[in-house]
Each structure stands twice: as structure tokens, then as C-alpha cells.
Structure 1
């Protein structure tokens, strides 16, 4: 372990003595470590079998979010996607939530969403977890969401035997009629892309940070809908968001359609425990 960490630190330009190395929680995908040297405290992620460009794209997403000057992200010192030795070296972020951390989080996310790209999607194919996401840039949000998100998960679900029978029929009907509900003219906000409760944390002075993005440009309501799937966001978060950037009156009507994508991802990754939630949404829209 020390040899791998020494190599990562050397690439980051830190050749000082290591004072402490500790394995820490960092999700189910990567090995994660707290490392302290004479110079800096680091968070280092390691993946022995990372897909091509896995950490490059994470670093790129963090930098794009940083450029909005809206919400804090960890500084990335270096990364490698070398086969059997992929790693990402970032600053260690540590803090205790303050009384207004949740409010700040909602306000900062809304500010990020007030930064816009020219088109929907992304120039690079990305990942959600380790599941590939095909992207591309689209003038139409409806077309991007239909073709690169829902239709892609439908094909994967068919291949894996997770979407069959009535579920497949309903999915195909929903995709065919998606334009009834999903707008063409949504503004392409900067989106984190994987904003669940485990992908933000409190830093110094209670300042919220976001981590582990799966970046794209798209309808901000898509991002907000996902925050409600697994929880982790308080009422203060939503009040602050609404105060800075009020949601569309149509949000509640479209929210399940946006949650559907993430539930399909979990269905295809983890299995039938997510099937009932998928079926409930499909029945709501296509009967």
C-alpha cells in the first residue's frame, strides 16, 4: 500500500515524509485513504480495475463545478487512469456542519444551476458509479434525455434481463411519448449529475462541498428530482434553493420521470429490489 501511495504523492509533487496513512470510508467502488505528510493532508482514491478515463472525468467534472464560483469542491492535485494503478489525489476536506450548512448547500447548488452551457449533455462519455453513460451535445433536452439516458438504460436492461414483458412494453411506450412531458426548451444548467446525500460533505466553517460528480449540462429539475430519491437533504436545503432559483410550477408533475433514470440505473446495477419503484412510475405515465 505504501508504495502505491508514495507514487501518487510523488506525482502530486509531494516528496515529504508521510506522518499517517489510514483507510477510510469512500463508497463501494474505490479504496480510499486519509494520508498526512509534512506538507498536506490528502484524500486518495484507488481503483485497481478502473474503466478508461474514470478518474480523469471525475477531476474534469470537479473543475467545471469549481469554475462556476458557486459551491466548493476539493482541490484535485493529480490523477492516473493507468491500468491496475488508477488513483485520484485530492485535498482532505474535514469539518462540522454549522447551523446554516444546509441552507448554504441549497443556495450554492441553485447558484451552480444558474450557470449555463450552450447545449445539453456533455462532450465526453461519463460514468454513474462504474456504469458507462454515453453523452454527446444536443440542442434539445428532450432528445438528450430520451436517447442518451432513458433509451440507453432500456437497452442495458433488456441485455441484462432486467427489463422484460410489461415493463419493457411500458418503457418503450413512455420513450415514444416522452415529449408530452419532458420539455425541449429547458436551459442547460451545469449539473453535478449524481447529487445524492453521500456526495456532499461539510468542510471548514460548515461550508458545503460536493464530491464525485457525473457532470452534464441539462434541466436543473432533473438534478433536484434525484435529491429526493434517497434523501439526505433537509427542508432548509429546498427552501434556500427555492429562494434563489424558484422551481417550475410543473416540477411535481415531471419529477417522477426524472427520478426514473436513476432508478433504472440502480435496477440495472443492483437488481429487482428497484423494480417496483420503476414499475410504479411507468404505470403513472403510460398505464
Structure 2
């Protein structure tokens, strides 16, 4: 990302002060990320030379959706652009150190976010998980949204990629037909982060946790919780604080692998057969085949 794009991004964000420094931050696999300092402020800027349609708009909208719940903290978004060749997202720079209560504050914040309910499940616009598009819609029942917009979408993509066939395809079809055996009715549509793993929360000043990189939807809050247990990054203090603020339902342990299946299918479709055995284990558990 050359300085002309940085300057355009800052101008669009309303900062015309002198650019002091631009430092690339390594670690992300999708975008290039930069710490940018001006005489006026510090920023975190993401850049992508050729993003999918509405890519940064979707992220900005997701962060704003969480911010409106008045629960867990999110970075302020100053501006964004999805223009090919110079797509960017400008956010506030977040930096701090954890203290004794940081994990508990995160658990409380996520629980409060989940207490923000909507009338329908899903989301009003399409989103992304990584670079994979997620087709959305609004559904009366969570089970219908989860079957059609999440599991079936990844099942079809896996067939196209040649990663779901044979016994795996047969088990998947059986599972899709029998979801009502495990997912209860009457589930409230909670505001969900949608990509809640350990890499998607950071620590701000005074040890306050912030969530980042959402893939927002409304649905069963246990769907968010299930993903926190796939790749780790959440402590016992997080779950204890969450459960005290919004007690976890008894059916969670039964449905948890079923909700984790979606994310395992995403990783299967993105990264290949290294995730195949994990997918198969979940399918065998629920189909007995």
C-alpha cells in the first residue's frame, strides 16, 4: 500500500494532518495491515488490492451492529472503501495490556451482546467468513437458517470442490435431514459475532477487551460459544463470567459439535483435507454411520 492510498484513506477519514509513520503489521492472511500515525491520531488500516464485493462494507456494518448492542467494545470505524485497487478500512488503533479481570470482562461483554435479540434469524445482507461468501436472509426459525444458509451452503461448496463425496456426502445428507433431533425449537435470535475465535479479540487501554473481524448474524448464542472451543483462546474465567451473566442452556453440550461442524466445513473448503477427519468425526457422532 503506497502513501497515496494511505493519504486518501486519511483524507476520507477527515485527517489532513502530517503523516508521521506507516508500519506494516504482519500476521493476517487476507489483508495487509498497517499502523499509521499522524500528527492528529493513530490508526489501524487494512488494505486489500482486489477484495470481494462489499468486503470492507460488510466488516464495518458488522462492527456497527455489535456497537449498537452497547455490550462488548469494538474499534471505531472512521471510513472504508471497496474500490478495486485501493480498498481500505480505517479504524482506531487499539493497544493495551491484560489485567486480572480482562477475560471476565470479555465473557460479560459477549453475554450482553447475546442478550440483544431480534425478531428473525440470519442477517439482512450477505457476509464473509474469511474470503468465503456467506449468503444470508431472514428466517423465522434458527434451524431453517442454520440448515439452509450455513450447513447446506458449505455442503454444496464441498461437493463442487470435490471435498464432500462418498460416505461423507451420505452422512451429511442424513444429518441435514435430521437437524430437528438435536436443535430445539423456540430459540431466540441473539446478536452473534459469527467468527468468535481467540484471534478475533484484542486488548485495549486499561485491559478492556475489544472484538474484531466479525461475521455478524442473529441466531442461537450457543453457535458463537461453540466456535470459542474449536481453536481455543478463551479461559475458564471467560466462560464463568458469561454463564453468570447469561446462563448457558442444558442442550449446549449436545448441540456443540453440530455447531462446530459449520466452521470445520469452512476450513475443509478453504484449506483442504487436513480438516476432513474432524468433519467426519462430527458426522459419525450424529448419524451413527
Per the normalisation by structure 1, the TM-score is 0.99
Distance 1:204 1:281, change over 3 A: same
Partner SS state of residue 28, structure 2: coil
Equivalent residue number for residue 51 of structure 1: 52
Give CA-to-partner distance per residue, 1:209-233, whole Å, 9 cap, x none.
0000000000000000000000000
**Equivalent-residue separation in structure 2 for 1:94 and 1:117 (angstroms):** 32
| Aligned pairs (5 A) from 1:107-126 | 107-126=108-127
1:157 equivalent to 2:158? Answer yes
TM-fit CA distance, 1:118: 1.1
TM-fit CA distance, 1:26: 4.9
Instruction: List structure 1 runs of 4+ shifted beyond 6 angstroms.
Output: none
Contact preservation (8 Å) 1:54, 1:81: yes
Partner SS state of residue 269, structure 1: helix
Contact preservation (8 Å) 1:141, 1:183: no
Distance 1:253 1:225, change over 3 A: same
**Equivalent-residue separation in structure 1 for 2:40 and 2:4 (angstroms):** 18
Give CA-to-partner distance per residue, 1:16-65, whole Å, 9 cap, x none.
10111100135100000000001110000001110010000100010110
1:237 equivalent to 2:238? Answer yes
Equivalent residue number for residue 180 of structure 1: 181
TM-fit CA distance, 1:183: 2.4
TM-fit CA distance, 1:180: 0.9
Equivalent residue number for residue 144 of structure 2: 143
Equivalent residue number for residue 210 of structure 1: 211
Equivalent residue number for residue 227 of structure 1: 228
Name structure 2 gaps, 5 residues minimum: none
Contact preservation (8 Å) 1:162, 1:267: yes
**Equivalent-residue separation in structure 1 for 2:161 and 2:97 (angstroms):** 42
| Aligned pairs (5 A) from 1:11-26 | 11-26=12-27
Equivalent residue number for residue 96 of structure 1: 97
**Equivalent-residue separation in structure 2 for 1:133 and 1:285 (angstroms):** 24
TM-fit CA distance, 1:148: 0.6
Equivalent residue number for residue 170 of structure 1: 171
Equivalent residue number for residue 193 of structure 1: 194
Contact preservation (8 Å) 1:42, 1:91: yes
Equivalent residue number for residue 131 of structure 2: 130
Q: How many residues align?
A: 287
Per the normalisation by structure 2, the TM-score is 0.98
**Equivalent-residue separation in structure 2 for 1:56 and 1:220 (angstroms):** 24
Equivalent residue number for residue 247 of structure 2: 246
Name structure 1 gaps, 5 residues minimum: none
Q: In angstroms, what is the RMSD of aligned CA positions?
A: 0.7
**Equivalent-residue separation in structure 2 for 1:149 and 1:205 (angstroms):** 37
Partner SS state of residue 212, structure 1: coil
Equivalent residue number for residue 42 of structure 2: 41
**Equivalent-residue separation in structure 2 for 1:199 and 1:184 (angstroms):** 30
TM-fit CA distance, 1:279: 0.2
